[in-house]
Chains A and B, each alone.
Chain A
Amino acid sequence: MFGSYEFDWSSIPGAMGFLGQGLLVSLEITGLALVAGIVWGTLLAMARLSSIKPLAWAAAGYVNLFRAVPLVMVLLWFFLIVPKLLENFLGLPSGSDVRLASAMIGFALFESAYYAEIIRAGIQSVPKGQLAAAHALGMSYPQAMLHVVLPQAFRNMVPLLLTQAIILFQDTSLVYVSALADFFGAAYKVGDRDGRLVELVLFAGAIYFVLCFAASQGVRYFQKRLQTA
């Protein structure tokens, strides 16, 4: 079925260092967005379940807005607009390199909307009596959340959070639009430079597949063990 295309994989071995750095950048962004997303997502979820109505509305608005728009668009605007905004606001000299930082922040803000929904479901899966019991023991609301509700909620959520982390890792490839040299960005640059885009795209796809497939099998195994425990 193949046409006359002649493969030439010779540009990959020499570029391994560069590609490895790109992979590290991808993992760094994933890790950062994961931590920021879980922390900010937990706060959003708690705000959404709060009895203070304006707070609940604000959190719901935030989550629904970010879930309605595409990630590419958010990344692009955080790359294009937010740096200008910051320059004007903070009086930074024009051309300060805050573009990458703001692309990362945009990424974390976007993903936290998805984490907030997972965490909200996790909190709601904890029986109400747990909170009542904690209150009866004299705990304040923050103490009850921190020591009683959230630990149980997170235990229930672990497989979902990990699955979302794999999606997050795949999503990091979209920082391509902000010229950040993540793994795919690095592969594209090498392929573009050597006129070997075919090989490099196939190579990048294979690496992503191996990593994500292994990770999702790991999550599945972990989930089974959690169920039997």
Chain B
Amino acid sequence: MEYQWNWGVFLLPSAVNDGTYLDWMFAGLKTTLVLSLSAWLIALLFGAVVGVLRTVPHRGLSGVATAYVEMFRNIPLLVQLFFWYFVLPELLPAGIGNAFKAMNPFAQQFVAAMVCLGFFTSARVAEQVRSGINALPRGQKNAGLALGLTLPQTYRHVMLPMAFRLVVPPLTSEFLNIFKNSAVCSTIGLLELAAQGRQLVDYTAQPYESFVAVTVAYVLINVVVMLLMRKVEVVVRVPGYLGGK
């Protein structure tokens, strides 16, 4: 039996009459983008704080930060996702748990996915921030302290402004990863890009067209993010360092 190619399938009205199949793909793309970007904000925020804490000369604080990183790095993303979606709502106080379960299914899936991806990625961001801080010449910290700045002031005015700029290039790959990792969220029923592609197969029986469309969409996301980050890298790079002016 020959396979019948039919690229027109995307323009057909969908089986449940809510627009065309192309609209489904765009809805999935939008979910993937919004999910990944909002998770990225969580990852940057928590990653920056935990990464800094890993370098402070205080055993308690750096110990907690190390435990945080090891925990999120040594458990598979899928298991973490199921934890946030299925397990945590049961364990939280009844009021919060029930409020979560009272939301519509899409909101539940989206919130769990966003928090999961955000924390998962934050541990990786923290590692990059830590190595950025450790890559600074030791003299910078000593010079700050010698000038009479306190340790927090030295971090705030001397080390972090440098470290956060150095850390941008290695963060590009984590930023790319978050878009790809978001596909895992299709397993809890979230209709992002990969899930819409699968749905299209079920409804239209045109698997190859759907496959090509989803692949092209992910490759496009990759290319756009890479071009964007290249621009950002040029803006933040430090003169005198590798890649600097």
Decide yes or no whether A58 CB sits under 8 A from chain B: no
Determine the distance from Cα of A109 to Cα of B196 in the docked complex, in whole angstroms.
24
Decide yes or no whether B102 CB sits under 8 A from chain A: no
Determine the distance from Cα of A216 to Cα of B123 in the docked complex, in whole angstroms.
15
Please determine whether B78 and A216 come into contact, CB atoms closer than 8 angstroms: no
Using known A-B contacts A70-B180, A209-B74, determine if residue A197 contacts B186 with beta carbons closer than 8 Å. no
Please determine whether A209 and B86 come into contact, CB atoms closer than 8 angstroms: no
* Complex partner residue of B76 from A72, A177, A184, CB under 8 angstroms: A184
Please determine whether A3 and B92 come into contact, CB atoms closer than 8 angstroms: yes
* Complex partner residue of B218 from A1, A73, A198, A213, CB under 8 angstroms: A73
Decide yes or no whether A205 CB sits under 8 A from chain B: yes
Q: List chain B residues, Cβ under 8 A from A213.
A: 70, 74
Please determine whether B214 and A73 come into contact, CB atoms closer than 8 angstroms: yes
Closest Cβ of chain A to B156, distance in Å, is: 31
Determine the distance from Cα of A3 to Cα of B87 in the docked complex, in whole angstroms.
12
Please determine whether B92 and A208 come into contact, CB atoms closer than 8 angstroms: no
Task: Identify the interface centre among A1, A84, A176: most chain B CB within 10 Å of its CB.
Answer: A176
Decide yes or no whether B147 CB sits under 8 A from chain A: no
Decide yes or no whether A24 CB sits under 8 A from chain B: no
Flag A73-84 by CB within 8 Å of B: 1 or 0 each: 100110011001
With an 8 Å Cβ cutoff, the count of chain B residues facing the other chain is 42
* Chain B contacts with A in 46-93, Cβ cutoff 8 A: 70-71, 73-80, 82-83, 86-87, 90-93
Using known A-B contacts A77-B211, A205-B83, A208-B76, determine if residue A198 contacts B181 with beta carbons closer than 8 Å. no
Using known A-B contacts A3-B90, A72-B187, A88-B1, determine if residue A80 contacts B201 with beta carbons closer than 8 Å. yes
Decide yes or no whether A201 CB sits under 8 A from chain B: yes
Q: List chain B residues, Cβ under 8 A from A2.
A: 91, 93
Please determine whether A3 and B78 come into contact, CB atoms closer than 8 angstroms: no
* Complex partner residue of B75 from A1, A70, A72, A212, CB under 8 angstroms: A212
Q: List chain A residues, Cβ under 8 A from B201.
A: 80
Decide yes or no whether B222 CB sits under 8 A from chain A: yes
Q: List chain B residues, Cβ under 8 A from A171.
A: 76
Interface of chain A, main secondary structure: helix
Flag B206-245 by CB within 8 Å of A: 1 or 0 each: 0110010011001100100000000000000000000000
Please determine whether A72 and B184 come into contact, CB atoms closer than 8 angstroms: yes
Determine the distance from Cα of A176 to Cα of B76 in the docked complex, in whole angstroms.
12
For A213, the closest partner residue in chain B by CB is B74
Flag B170-207 by CB within 8 Å of A: 1 or 0 each: 00000000001111101100000010011001000001
Closest Cβ of chain A to B194, distance in Å, is: 5
Please determine whether B83 and A201 come into contact, CB atoms closer than 8 angstroms: yes
Q: List chain A residues, Cβ under 8 A from B152.
A: none
Please determine whether A197 and B78 come into contact, CB atoms closer than 8 angstroms: no
Decide yes or no whether B103 CB sits under 8 A from chain A: no
Decide yes or no whether B19 CB sits under 8 A from chain A: no
Please determine whether A5 and B79 come into contact, CB atoms closer than 8 angstroms: no
Using known A-B contacts A176-B187, A216-B74, determine if residue A205 contacts B94 with beta carbons closer than 8 Å. no
Decide yes or no whether B105 CB sits under 8 A from chain A: no
Flag A47-87 by CB within 8 Å of B: 1 or 0 each: 00000000000000000010011111100110011001000
Q: List chain A residues, Cβ under 8 A from B1.
A: 88
Q: List chain B residues, Cβ under 8 A from A132.
A: none
Query: Given A65-B215, A184-B76, list of 9 further CB < 8 A pairs?
Result: A3-B91, A3-B96, A4-B94, A70-B218, A80-B207, A173-B79, A174-B76, A174-B78, A205-B83
Which residues of A come within 8 Å of B, CB atoms?
1-5, 65, 68-73, 76-77, 80-81, 84, 88, 170-171, 173-174, 176-177, 184, 188, 197-198, 201-202, 204-205, 208-209, 212-213, 216
